[in-house]
Structure 1
Amino acid sequence: MSHSSTASDFEKDTAVEKDVGQTHLTEGQADLVEASEPHFIIHEDDKIPNASTERDGESLKRVASEKPSVNNIKSVPNGGAKAWMQVLSSFFIFFNTWGIVNAFGIYQTYYEHGILEGSSPSDISWIGSIEAFLLMLVGSVAGPIYDKGYARELLAVGSFLIVFGQMMLSLSTNYWHVFLAQGVSIGIGTGLIFVSGVAIISTYFSTKIATATGVAAAGSSIGGMLYPIIFYKLQPQIGFAWATRVLGLIALLTLAISNLVLRIRVVPQSRRKFLDLPAWKVLPYLFFNLGSFFTFMGLYAPFFYVQSYVIQTGIMDEGLGFYILAVLNAASTFGRLIPNFVADRAGPLNIIVPCTFMSGILQYCLISAHSIPSVMAIVALYGFFSGALVSLPATIYVHLAGPTRRGLIGTWMGMGFAFVSIGMLIGTPITGAILAASSFKAIWAFGGSLTLLGSVFILLARFAQGCWKLKVKV
C-alpha cells in the first residue's frame, strides 16, 4: 500500500471521527465550542508523510498536539466531577457579576431616602450604570489576558476588588465614597472575573454545553433575586453598614469556592486582536451593535426604577414593593434558558428580535399598570424577555463572524461589548434626569422607545445576515 493512499485513508478516518464527535451537537452548542479557541492542530513534525517523504520502518499513526484542544471533541471531558465543578465556579461568578448589577435597584430605592437622600435619582443611577459599564468594558479588555492563561489571577484580583468594594461601601457616608466603592471597585472587579466564567465551560463540555451554560448563567438571576431580599430583610434590623458587610461576606464565601475549584484545561494557541476596524463595514455586525446599544440604553430602566415606582405611586406598600425586583430576576432565569433552547433550532437572531420588541412594549405597558396583578404580570414577563437579551448576544456574534472570520470572534465580541457598554453607562442616568423633570410615565416611554428602536436595528441585522426571507434560520 502506498503512503499516499494511507494518508488519504487517514484523512477520511479523521473526517469520520469528527462527524461522530459532532453528531449530538446542536448548532448553538457547536458555535460555543467554535468560539472557545483555535482549531485542534497537528505538530509539523508529526504530519502524515506523503509519497515523496517516506519513513522507513515506521508505521503511520495519528499524533495530536501536546496541548489538548476543546475542538478535539474526543478530548473534552463533557462531564465528570471536575467539569461540573467548573460549572459551580462559573455559577458563583455569574452570581457575583450580573447578579450584583441586576440587584442595584434595591440600592437605588434605598439611597434616594437613605445616605444619599440629597442626591438626585440621576446622580444615584450613575453609580449603578458605571458598575455595569465597567463590567462589560473591563471584561472585553480582560479577554486577551485570559487567553494567555491568567484566568486564576484575573479571578483572584477581581474577587478581592468585589469584596473590598462591598466592605468600603459599608463605611461610606458621602456620594463619592459610594461611587468609588460600589461603582468603580466592584465594577472593575466584576469585569475582571466575568470572562473566566463565560470561557471556562466551553473547554470542559461538548454535547452538554447548553445545559452547563444554562445552569451557570442562572447564577446571575439568582444573585439578582437573593441580594435584594437579603439586604431588605437585614437593613432595618442591623443597619446599612452591617447589611452591606453581610453581602460582602456572601460574595467572599461564594467567590472563594470559584477560586478554589476553577482550573484551566486548555488555553488558545493564538491571541486575539484588540481591534478589527473593518468589522464595522460588515452590515449585520454594524446593525446588531447599533441595536444592542439602543436596547441596553433603555433596557435597565425597570431594573433601576420599578421598585421606586410601585412604592412611590402607592401601587404596593413598602413590604411588598421591595420584592418586585426579586420577581423580575426570578423570571429572568427562565428567560436565559428557554429562548436559548429555542434559538438552537430557530436561530438566535430570529429569537432575539421578538424578545427585544416585547421588552420595549412591556415598558410601555407599565404606563397603564396601576394594580398589583397588572404590575406583577408585566414585571414577570419583562424579566423573561429581557433575560434573552443578556444571554443570546455571545452566540449571535459567533454567527455574525461565521467560519471565514473564526480568529476574530473574540475581537468582535470585545468591540461589540465595549460599544454597548456606553449605552448602559448613559441610559439610566438620563432616565433619572427625566424622572426628576417629569414622571415615571416618561421614563417608561423613554426606555420603551429606545428598546423598540434597538429592535428595529437588530431586525435589520437579521435581514442583512439572512436576506429578506422570513423562513430562514439566522
Structure 2
Amino acid sequence: MQSAPEPIPDGGTKAWVQVLCSWIILANSWGLVNSFGMYQTYYENGLLSNTTSSAISWIGSLQGALLLILAPVSGTLYDAGYFRPLLLAGLFLIIFGQFITSFATSYWQILLSQGICIGLGCGLAYVPSTAILSQYFQRRRALVIGIASTGSPVIGIVFPIIFGKLQPALGFPWATRLIALILSVISVIPAAAMRPRIKQKADIRSFIDGSAIRDPAFALVVVGSFFVYLTLYVAFFYIQLFGIKHHITSIDSSSYLLMLLNAGSIPGRVAPNYLADRLGALRIQLSVTTISAVVMFAWLGVRNLGGLIVFALLYGLFSGGVVSVTPCLIVALSLQPEKIGTRMGMVFFVMGFAVLAGTPIAGAILGSGDGDSWTSTIAYGGGSMMMGAVAYTGAIFMSWNR
C-alpha cells in the first residue's frame, strides 16, 4: 500500500531557506542579465568601441537566451530528480564565466566567456531553483516566487554601482573579478542548503509535454510570451545610451538610469504576485504587460532627466511584474505538478529565442543612435509587447473553457 504524500508545508524555516537560496540563484542569473547594460555602455565607449551596438548586445542577449533556451533540459532533468547536479554545475559556470571575462580583450573572447559560459550556467540553475519552490509552498506560491525574483533587480542595482565605482579606479579586469568574488561568496548558501523536499524518480521523460501543445490557453501563453520577451529588455540595454545620445546624462552618471530601472522592478516583483494568488496569474500578466507596453510608448515623449527618471521607475515596476508572474502563469496552467519543470522548459525555450533576437534587432534599428532611429526602436519595443498582450487576452478566453 502506497503512503499518502506529505502535505506541502507552506512555510517553516526550511521552506523560507529555500526562498533565500532561490533569491540568490536569481540574483546570480537574471541579476547579471539585468545589469548587462553597464557592460553595454562600457564596451561601446571603451574596450569594444570599434564594434557596433547591435553586435555588443548579442553578448547580453546570448546570456539571457541561453538562460531560457536550456530550460527544457534543466526542467526535464529537475523533474527526473537531478536538482543538485544542475544547481552545482550552474553555479560553477556562472562564477567561472564572470572570472574569465576579466581576462578578455576581444569581442569573441567576451562573447564566449560572458555570453556563452555564464549563459549556460544560468540556464542550468534557473528553472530548478524556481520550480523547487512549488514543493514548499502552495497557498502563497506566486508571492514567494515574486519575493525570490527580487534578487535580480537588487543585483541589478548593486553591480552597476560596484562596476561604476571600481572600473575607473581599478580597471575593467579587477572590477569584473571582484563581481566574480561576490558571486562566489553568496553562492555558498544555496550550494550548502538548497534541497528538494520530494525525492523524485530518476526517470527522464520527453522534453515536450504533448498535453500542453493541445491546450489552447497554454499555446496562446507561449505565443504571448514570445512577443513580450522579444522586446522586454530593450530599455535595460539601451536606456543609458539614450540618456547619453540625448545629452540628458553623462557617460559616468548614465549608470544610475539602469539602477532606477532595477529599483522600480523590486516592488514590481512582489505586488503583482501577491495579486496573482488572489485574482489569477493570467489576469495579472495581461495587466502588467499592457501597462509595460504603454509606458514603453511613453518613452517616445521623454526629453529631460525628470521624464527619463519617471520612465525608468515605471517601466522597471511593471516589467518586473511581467518577469515575476511568468513562472506563476506556467504553474497555474499546469494541472500535473510532476510536469511543471517540463512545461516551464517549453515556454522558456520559446522565450529564449525571443530574448536572443530581440535586443540585437533593436540595436540594428537603432544604428548609431542618432536622428529618428530612437522612434523606430521604441515603437518596435512597445508594439511587440502589445501583441503579446493580445495573445494573453485570447488565453484568458480559452482558459474559461478548460
| Structure 1 match to 2:237 | 304
Contact preservation (8 Å) 1:85, 1:261: yes
Q: Determine if the alignment matches structure 1 residue 356 to structure 2 residue 289.
A: yes
Q: Quick one: which amino acid aligns to residue 191 of structure 1?
A: G
- Where has structure 1 moved over 6 Å in runs of 4 or more? none
Deviations 1:325-360 (A, max 9, x none): 111111111111101111222211111112111111
Q: Quick one: which amino acid aligns to residue 420 of structure 1?
A: M
Contact preservation (8 Å) 1:79, 1:204: no
| Structure 2 match to 1:432 | 363
Contact preservation (8 Å) 2:224, 2:392: yes
| Structure 2 match to 1:286 | 219
Quote the Cα distance in structure 2 between the aligned partners of 1:96 and 1:105: 16
- Which of 264, 269, 285 pairs up with 1:336? 269
- Which of 73, 77, 82 pairs up with 1:141? 73
| Structure 2 match to 1:32 | none
| Structure 2 match to 1:381 | 314
| Structure 1 match to 2:379 | 445
Quote the Cα distance in structure 1 between the aligned partners of 2:360 and 2:142: 35
Q: Quick one: which amino acid aligns to residue 116 of structure 2?
A: V
Quote the Cα distance in structure 2 between the aligned partners of 1:102 and 1:206: 28
| Structure 2 match to 1:315 | 248
Q: Determine if the alignment matches structure 1 residue 95 to structure 2 residue 30.
A: no
- Which of 26, 39, 47 pairs up with 1:115? 47
Q: Determine if the alignment matches structure 1 residue 457 to structure 2 residue 391.
A: yes
Report 1:105-184 matches (<5 A): 105-184=37-116
Deviations 1:271-314 (A, max 9, x none): 55311345334321222111110111011100100011112211
SS in 2 for 1:118: coil
Contact preservation (8 Å) 1:78, 1:207: no
How far did 1:112 drift?
A: 0.4
Contact preservation (8 Å) 1:78, 1:208: no
Larger radius of gyration: 1
Contact preservation (8 Å) 1:335, 1:388: yes
SS in 1 for 2:253: helix
| Structure 1 match to 2:182 | 250
How far did 1:213 drift?
A: 3.1
SS in 1 for 2:150: helix
Structure 2 unmatched ranges of 5 or more: none
- The verdict on how the C-alpha distance between 1:206 and 1:356 changes in structure 2, with shifts beyond 3 A counting, is closer
| Structure 1 match to 2:328 | 395
- The verdict on how the C-alpha distance between 1:409 and 1:197 changes in structure 2, with shifts beyond 3 A counting, is closer
- The verdict on how the C-alpha distance between 1:451 and 1:187 changes in structure 2, with shifts beyond 3 A counting, is same
- The verdict on how the C-alpha distance between 1:457 and 1:212 changes in structure 2, with shifts beyond 3 A counting, is closer
Quote the Cα distance in structure 2 between the aligned partners of 1:207 and 1:354: 22
Deviations 1:174-217 (A, max 9, x none): 11000000000000001111123213333234555455433322
> Which gives a bigger RCO, structure 1 or 2 (Cα 8 Å, sep 6+)?
2
How far did 1:408 drift?
A: 4.0
Q: Quick one: which amino acid aligns to residue 325 of structure 1?
A: L
How far did 1:456 drift?
A: 1.1
How far did 1:319 drift?
A: 3.7
How far did 1:237 drift?
A: 0.5
| Structure 1 match to 2:352 | 421
Quote the Cα distance in structure 2 between the aligned partners of 1:397 and 1:221: 22
Q: Quick one: which amino acid aligns to residue 194 of structure 2?
A: L
Contact preservation (8 Å) 2:61, 2:356: yes
- The verdict on how the C-alpha distance between 1:411 and 1:143 changes in structure 2, with shifts beyond 3 A counting, is closer
Q: Quick one: which amino acid aligns to residue 458 of structure 1?
A: Y
Q: Quick one: which amino acid aligns to residue 131 of structure 1?
A: Q
Quote the Cα distance in structure 2 between the aligned partners of 1:211 and 1:279: 24
Q: Quick one: which amino acid aligns to residue 453 of structure 1?
A: M
How far did 1:389 drift?
A: 1.1
Contact preservation (8 Å) 2:90, 2:124: yes
Aligned CA RMSD, in angstroms, stands at 2.0
How far did 1:411 drift?
A: 2.7
- The verdict on how the C-alpha distance between 1:101 and 1:280 changes in structure 2, with shifts beyond 3 A counting, is same
| Structure 2 match to 1:86 | 18
Quote the Cα distance in structure 2 between the aligned partners of 1:277 and 1:207: 28
Contact preservation (8 Å) 1:273, 1:408: no
| Structure 1 match to 2:165 | 233
Q: Quick one: which amino acid aligns to residue 362 of structure 2?
A: T
Deviates more, 1:347-356 or 1:391-400: 391-400
Deviations 1:117-156 (A, max 9, x none): 1110110011111101100111331122223333222222
- The verdict on how the C-alpha distance between 1:174 and 1:96 changes in structure 2, with shifts beyond 3 A counting, is same
Quote the Cα distance in structure 2 between the aligned partners of 1:283 and 1:368: 38
Q: Quick one: which amino acid aligns to residue 391 of structure 2?
A: F
Structure 1 unmatched ranges of 5 or more: 1-41, 44-63, 468-473
Quote the Cα distance in structure 1 between the aligned partners of 2:215 and 2:156: 35
SS in 1 for 2:171: helix
- The verdict on how the C-alpha distance between 1:265 and 1:303 changes in structure 2, with shifts beyond 3 A counting, is same
Quote the Cα distance in structure 1 between the aligned partners of 2:350 and 2:250: 39
Q: Quick one: which amino acid aligns to residue 163 of structure 2?
A: F
Quote the Cα distance in structure 1 between the aligned partners of 2:101 and 2:180: 9
Q: Quick one: which amino acid aligns to residue 91 of structure 2?
A: S
